[in-house]
Chain A
Amino acid sequence: MNRFEKDFRKLLAQDQRAETRIFRGEIIVLVIFAIIVLAHFLPKS
């Protein structure tokens, strides 16, 4: 495996991690969002 091939794999893994981070982040944001929406609509005691 030459230097360019190694760099390529490293870069691809790094970019895939960035996309996975967005996926995880979306789930967290959706949970926060759902809590905000539920808190607004749930009947207050």
Chain B
Amino acid sequence: MTLSDLIDVLAFICLVFVFAGIIPVISSFTQYLLIGLHGITNHYSECKDYTPKVSIVIPAWDEGDVIGASIDSLMSLAYPEGAWRIYVVDDASTDQTPDVLRKKMLEYPGSVFHLRREVGGQGKAHALNHGLSTILADDWAEAILIMDADVLFEPLTLRRMTRHLADKSIGAVTAYVKEGSEPGNLVTRFVAYEYIAAQAAARRAQNVIGVLACLAGGAQLHSRTNLVEMGGLIDTTSLAEDTFTTFKTQLNGRRVMFDGNAVVWAEEPDTLEGLWKQRLRWARGNIQLTVAFRHVWFRPHKNKRLGSAAFGILWFSILLMPLFMIAASIGLLGLHWLRPNWEIAGFATLWGTASAVYVFERLFSYVIDPTTAARTWLEGFLFPGLISLVVAAVFFLPQNWFEFLDVPVSIGSMHSTWREVASLMSYAWISLCMVAAWGVYALEKRGLWPWLRNMLLIVVGYGPVLTAISIAAMVAEWKKTDLRWDKTLKTGRARIPT
């Protein structure tokens, strides 16, 4: 093999790396294209007026600030009188949770039950199993709603969920969890915008392809049969018990449904530190699940839907997104030195596709959830960060506007132009944005002022924070860091908008 052949092979590998960076973008776009079909092929035609007796199980570990409001919202449900009961599993709380529960039991006699665990803090799944063992021990409940202590239900949400269970092929239904912090801040508004994409959009698309990746832990309704078929227990071996439940339901041959019109409101983290803790748990859980269900991926003969190529690509394009981004950076930098004529084509394809999909998704978010999209228009716009937006803008502007960059510059013994330096920096930024995002998180943890954190977050972007967390999760799983249940602190900020 000659040197020229070697360069050709390396350049081809670099080009493949650049195209790997486009995979998550195309996957996200395809998902958005499927959403419209949900207007034609949804589950509403199979729904019936079905109002089973529902036992609601709420794990609560030091949730004294939020549990009272959640119970009040549940007691205002538009649902047949006496057809629902609330079981709060007090996971050895050391705050005022037991006092709040005693008060609520007196206020709503026969509807609210206090189940106390004397040894707690082992995680949500253990608390849920304590509640489920009590609920399934008698045959009153026909359906079981699993929710979080901070979640507030709109009055019609439970009815919107139970109607799907009239179809016995449905094992579980999940609702659209919206961020409801009042007052919110930049971080909570980023989360609110993210949930349009991650829930209202993605889960509708998943309904269309007939397989759901995750039942929201904050609001999932199961038929009794479904939970009994799973042995009446929630998986306790991972940090993603809700996704395990989702997969097990579907592997047992039952379908799982998302109802985007069934809305609940939750309090999400308002700091990067809180967000990091919560999302690291989710991301590690997803890696654990990917390994645990390794026999399912891309094997449609074993499970038609979970094993389908479409679902596999959707799943892995999110799970491996940071690796695809790093590959794209390496690919572009490699092409710069190996094949400059391919470099421009690679960059144009990557940034052109990403920019087009960015515009499409922003516009479409106003159709999917107009109120949230309007409330979070700035966060939606700034989601990738100012630096990435500037790179995209420069890509679309006439290049002769930037002739002022064609001045020579010497860095050590290297001679170049500012234009070339800017190009190389923009290629590297696809990966470096994750390092920068980690830096903003680390600075906030060390007491950075919130206004400065906000400024840096706007420059770096919220998207890079999420991918940086995915990398951190991969590292933690690789190093087998202790599986600690890091509870997200809830303070009672969430409100149902009037």
Interface residues of A (CB under 8 A from B): 4-5, 7-9, 11-12, 14-16, 18-30, 32-33, 36-37, 40
User: What would 20 A/B residue contacts be, using CB atoms closer than 8 Å?
Assistant: A4-B80, A8-B49, A8-B159, A9-B49, A12-B47, A12-B163, A15-B160, A15-B259, A16-B42, A19-B39, A21-B39, A24-B39, A25-B364, A25-B367, A26-B35, A26-B367, A29-B364, A30-B360, A36-B359, A37-B356
Q: Which residues of A are found within 8 Å of B33, using beta-carbon distances?
A: 26
Chain B residues closer than 8 Å to A19, beta-carbon distance:
38-39, 42, 44, 260-261
Residues of chain B at the chain A interface (Cβ within 8 Å): 33, 35-40, 42, 44, 47, 49, 51, 78, 80, 156, 159-160, 163, 204, 259-261, 356, 359-360, 363-364, 366-368, 396
User: Considering only CB atoms, which chain A residue lies closest to B362 in the complex?
Assistant: A29
**Is A33 a contact partner of B39 (Cβ separation < 8 A)?**
no
- Contact status of A22 and B36, CB under 8 A, knowing A4-B51, A8-B163, A37-B356: yes
A4-B49, A8-B159 known; 4 new pairs, CB 8 Å cut-off, are: A4-B51, A9-B49, A12-B47, A25-B36
Main DSSP-derived SS at the B contact region: helix
Residues of A within 8 A of B39 (CB): 19-24
Nearest CB in chain A: distance from B333 CB, A: 26
Expressed in whole angstroms, the Cα–Cα distance for A11 and B261 within the complex equals 10
Contacts A12-B163, A15-B261 hold; do A23 and B36 have CB atoms under 8 A apart?
A: yes
Residues of A contacting B156 with CB < 8 Å? Answer: 11
Residues of B within 8 A of A28 (CB): 367
In the complex the two chains form, what is the Cα distance from A27 to B364 in whole Å? 10
Is B38 touching A18 in the complex (CB atoms < 8 A)? no
| Count of A-B contacts judged by CB separation below 8 Å | 73
Nearest opposing residue in chain A for B37, CB measure: A23
A8 to B80, CA, bound (A): 12
**CB-contact partner of A11 in B35, B159, B396, under 8 A:** B159
A33 touches B396 (CB 8 A): no
Across the interface, do A11 and B364 meet the contact criterion of CB distance under 8 Å?
Answer: no
Bound-complex Cα distance A27 to B11 (A): 39
Q: Which residue of B lies closest to A33 (CB)?
A: B360
Q: A8 to B162: give the CA distance in the assembly, Å.
A: 11
CB distance from A27 to the nearest CB of B (A): 7
Question: Please, which residue of chain A has its CB at the minimum distance from the CB of B259?
Answer: A15
Contact of B35 among A4, A18, A22 (CB under 8 A): A22
Q: Once the chains are docked, how many angstroms separate the CA of A25 from the CA of B38? A: 12
Known contacts A11-B159, A22-B368: does B359 contact A27 (CB below 8 Å)? no
B contact residues around A21 at 8 Å (CB): 39, 367
Determine whether the beta carbon of B36 is less than 8 Å from that of A12. no
* Closest Cβ–Cβ distance, residue A15 to chain B (whole Å): 4
Most chain B CB within 10 A, of A20, A24, A29, A30, is at: A29
**B50 to A: closest C-beta gap in Å:** 9
The 7 closest A-B pairs by CB, nearest first: A23-B39, A25-B367, A26-B36, A8-B49, A15-B261, A19-B39, A23-B36
* Residues of A close to B38: CB separation below 8 A: 19, 22-23
Q: Give the residue name and chain of the A residue nearest to B204 (CB).
A: A22
What's the minimum C-beta distance from B32 to chain A, rounded to whole angstroms? 8
Task: Determine the chain A residues whose CB is within 8 A of the CB of B359 once the complex forms.
Answer: 33, 36
Chain A residues with CB under 8 A of B37: 23
A22 surroundings in chain B (CB, below 8 A): 35-36, 38-39, 204, 367-368
A29 to B364, CA, bound (A): 6
Cross-chain contact A32 with B363 (CB below 8 angstroms): yes
